[in-house]
Structure 1
Amino acid sequence: MRHSQWCGRRGPAARWRKVALLVSLLPSLAQAAEFPADAPRAEDEEAAAPPPRPRQFWWALGEVTAINLTVWGFNRYIMNKDFARVGLDAWRTNFEMGFVWDKDDFSTNQFAHPYHGSTYFNAARDHGFNYWGAMGFTLVGSLQWELFAENHLPSYNDLINTTMGGWAHGEVIYRLSSMLLDQRATGTRRVAREVSAGLLNPIRGFNRVVRGDAWRSAPTPKDWQPPVFAVLARTGYLNIDAGTTLNQFFAELDLRYGDAVRFPVDTPFDAFNMGVQFTTGENRLISRAEVKGALAMLPLENSGNERVLLGAFQHFDYNDTQAYELGGQSIGAGLVYRYLTQGGRELRLALHLRGVVLAGITSEYADKVGRDYDYGPGLGFHFEASYGRWPWEYLKLHAGSTWLHTLNGADGNHLVHEGTLLLDVPLFANLGLGASFTFFERNSFFRDFDTVSRGVPQARVFLSVH
């Protein structure tokens, strides 16, 4: 159902403020990838490393509940929203009628809800719970909202997207905010780091102020910094052939936190990739967002210049172009290969198999349930090949297929094929010039309607900064 005024569709000015905030934080993240000059040495850090924060179950549960009460109160008493007028009758109806599938727009369900789930997740993370422990609090927070904060019936898709999307968004936000913090810093530098981390992770920032951590001098935990970190940016021209030609400009950011091929993955998301693409398309500021986090990695072969690993991954995907919508939550396994040349360049190959827990996909006949997309689970695989010098991929190929079975919408099955070929050539220093071609094909086999096949090619030319 509709989550909140804070998490639904917002005006262009508000969306651009979010983009400006993200861009403003990038220099801090890049600087945080290296220890400051006055940081303690490794041996000092090891001797003085602070103990892990104790797990505080009731504080975590209380803060998850407080988040929901705050958002509900804002909608009820400030925004005067009808859906926030709840009481015993609404709660009784929610329990008696049970869960349904809602009709909210794609961006609200597939992007805003996962972000809201990240606040529950970070409430637990900041009270001493690890990734696995924070998962349960995210589910509890979502259930609280669905059952008690709205007079709309609780929603299956909201529960799944908020919970699973909250895991991925939450851990990424927690890791990036950790990078920004330096508990030995003082003065203006300390203030800048605390404010930046608080803007990125408001729940954690609030707690650090309340506890006094925001100004207290203490050792900075070693695991707050990844072994490697990189920011990649591309900007240029995008052409989409959706029956009519769509000409847009785009800006793309990719963050590489850690590297599962070169460094151990001891805890979930010790290595992850996050990408987001902003476009000038009509009513679609964010046209692509994705997270791929390594949950665990098992080395199979490590001889000379070759490495082979088997891994478990969590995936979050969001695509909302003017030509199609596709996004969902997945858990999968991947086989990864790396060959390192004597010149320091590398060839990487990967094959990923995914179990799609829930995905939304464009459908011509989903309007019978009040949306323009179907919902359902499925299976998928994709293949990746790249050549370059980490993190710069000079040449990259990505191709895959996904099968989705409709649970809500127009009965049937969707078979999606996707492929991207990218070339990014170094010009000088960290500047590159590149182009990419993407093809998206959807074949929808409906039970009560004719089969629909759609192909959408996309072409980009861009300047890149690495």
Structure 2
Amino acid sequence: MKKLLLFLLTCLLAIHLAFPQPPAIRYQVAEPRLADSLDISHYAKKRGLRAGAMVFGLNMGVWTFDRFILKGDYAYINMHTIKENIKHGFVWDNDAFETNMFMHPYHGNLYYNSARSNGYNYWQSGLFALGGSLMWEVFMENEHPSANDVIATPIGGMALGEVTYRVSDLILDDRKGGWSRFGLEFAAFVVSPMRGLTRIINGDAWKRRSTSGKQFGVPNVSVDISMGIRTLELKDEILDQGMGIATEIKVAYGDRFDTEETKPYDYFSINANLNFQASQPVLGQLNIIGRLSARNLVDKPKHYLSLGLYQHFDYYDSDTISVSSAKTPYKFCTPASFGGGFIYQYKGLKNWDINAFAHLNAILLGGSLSDYYKVDKRIYNLASGYSTKMGADFIFKKEVFAISARYDVYHMFTWKGYSGEIDWRKIEPKTLNAQGDRSRAILHAVGLRADIRLRNRLYLTGTFMNYTRNTKYRYFSDVFSNSSEGRLMLTYKF
């Protein structure tokens, strides 16, 4: 009976993959409107002193909490620790995966929005994020400054920061008052704390104006929220432990087929998977693709093709499921990645639309699960390299059905390793300056997705995704691993 249940479940899940491309079928949250010139000018004034003070104050506030509340060993600093950090220079640290690859970019988003909410643009705000990161790494800890943090924090922070800034802009409305205004301001503060703090400092949080205050107007935005079951590792003996509740959020902001407005992040997509499953991290997946610039190559009634520059943020995390499967299925990320991409659309069929894309990216910093490197809190290799992403959507024009396919490949190279004769028993985690095992990892993420309309904006969504990792080590045996996961969910398209 259990094998039959597993077979039926696998057949259902094989319909679809929960992967990070924008939803094939989109509904508009609100009617698009251009930004008012009064709103653009009102929030365009640059306030450098305030932005710098907010970055400085953020670091001091976090350090005060770490030093006097948490009493963390790393927070006991003085002139000697600062001189030692400057003298020694940067190292590769051994913090946990979620700390280095998500929490640091999130912290970078706070630096970024300290400047973004004070009149600075995408690129200028990134410099403030870099400055805040350097200040923290060199001055605010008694550990040697981290090379990977100074890459992931500002660059990943730019992706998270611009997304949260624009989402908060959708929420705010300066025309409102009373409890309605309070609710909007509170929600925007939760999404972008430093923007919320800026509005409190300058009084915009309660000032009523004749215009909405939306700096970007109301773009073409769609939001999909899905909830259902997730199965990780489709194996008979661990089916019970490997199942849990899954939630997926997809946001598409702007029009990827419109290149008239090509300021950074005029178009972006977000995909976030939240898991409520024993032993698994709550944040299982986060993907952001933000367009920085683009131009049309072909724009005809049946064919559309554009070439653009994009920023990518990819985060995939899982943990050991049970004693029956004593392995971590997958763990990889690219918090700092940029590249070129083609977007194609074909409208020559009577009942179907076809959308396709292809990206080639440089990975400035990435991470991949290691089979041998287990130092302090780190079980992954830091790396750089490149990735390719390809995918296509097949959409029935009456919006009752869509099927999508995706294939991502990541090539990650760990350059700074350690001696093959290392004695792990004598290793001091704070002084081992290594990216991880000298290795080359090739990761494949392959999957399918289907959405079937049940009624109005309610869809049945199924996903199946397969992850493979082939890591070739310099001093150890090579390892090949293969993991699968699937989701069966109900999706509401707002």
- TM-score normalised by the shorter chain: which range applies? 0.7 to 0.9
Kindly provide the amino acid, as one letter, of the partner of residue 404 in structure 1: M
- What's the TM-score, normalizing by structure 1? 0.87
Match of residue 110 from structure 1: 101
Match of residue 444 from structure 1: 471
Q: Distance in 2 between matches of 1:454 and 1:187?
A: 56
Mapping for residues 179-258 of structure 1, pairs under 5 Å: 179-218=170-209, 219-221=211-213, 223-241=215-233, 244-245=238-239, 246-258=242-254
1:221 to partner: Cα distance: 4.6
Match of residue 435 from structure 1: 462
Kindly provide the amino acid, as one letter, of the partner of residue 82 in structure 2: W
Match of residue 148 from structure 1: 139
Change (3 A) 1:357 1:369: farther
Kindly provide the amino acid, as one letter, of the partner of residue 400 in structure 1: D
1:263 to partner: Cα distance: 5.5
Q: Decide which moves more: 62-71 or 344-353.
A: 344-353
Q: Distance in 2 between matches of 1:224 and 1:301?
A: 27
Change (3 A) 1:32 1:230: closer
2:331 corresponds to 1:325: yes
- What's the TM-score, normalizing by structure 2? 0.82
Q: Deviations over 1:80-114 (max 9, x none)?
A: 22211111011011111111111111111111111
Q: Distance in 1 between matches of 2:148 and 2:234?
A: 28
Kindly provide the amino acid, as one letter, of the partner of residue 430 in structure 1: R
Match of residue 354 from structure 1: 361
Match of residue 25 from structure 1: none
Are the counterparts in 1 of residues 362 and 386 from structure 2 also a CA contact under 8 Å?
Answer: yes
Q: Distance in 1 between matches of 2:30 and 2:402?
A: 23
**Corresponding residue to 1:403 among 387, 405, 411:** 411
Q: Distance in 2 between matches of 1:392 and 1:301?
A: 29
Are the counterparts in 2 of residues 226 and 258 from structure 1 also a CA contact under 8 Å?
Answer: no
Which secondary structure state, in structure 2, belongs to the residue aligned with residue 157 of structure 1?
A: helix
1:338 to partner: Cα distance: 1.1
Q: Distance in 2 between matches of 1:267 and 1:69?
A: 33
Are the counterparts in 1 of residues 95 and 376 from structure 2 also a CA contact under 8 Å?
Answer: no
Change (3 A) 1:265 1:31: closer
Are the counterparts in 1 of residues 246 and 276 from structure 2 also a CA contact under 8 Å?
Answer: yes
Match of residue 264 from structure 2: 268
Are the counterparts in 2 of residues 33 and 225 from structure 1 also a CA contact under 8 Å?
Answer: no
Change (3 A) 1:443 1:420: same
Which secondary structure state, in structure 2, belongs to the residue aligned with residue 199 of structure 1?
A: helix
Q: Deviations over 1:27-71 (max 9, x none)?
A: xxx998458xxxxx979x457864442212222112111110111
Identity %: 31
Match of residue 3 from structure 1: none
* Greater relative contact order (Cα < 8 A, sep 6+): 2
Q: Distance in 2 between matches of 1:31 and 1:190?
A: 23
Query: Which runs of no fewer than 5 residues in structure 2 stay unpaired?
Result: 1-26, 320-328, 416-434
Q: Distance in 2 between matches of 1:339 and 1:310?
A: 16
Kindly provide the amino acid, as one letter, of the partner of residue 492 in structure 2: V
Match of residue 417 from structure 1: 444
Q: Distance in 1 between matches of 2:402 and 2:341?
A: 22
Kindly provide the amino acid, as one letter, of the partner of residue 475 in structure 2: D
Change (3 A) 1:33 1:121: farther
Change (3 A) 1:382 1:393: farther
Q: Distance in 1 between matches of 2:331 and 2:351?
A: 39
1:183 to partner: Cα distance: 1.2
Q: Distance in 2 between matches of 1:237 and 1:100?
A: 41
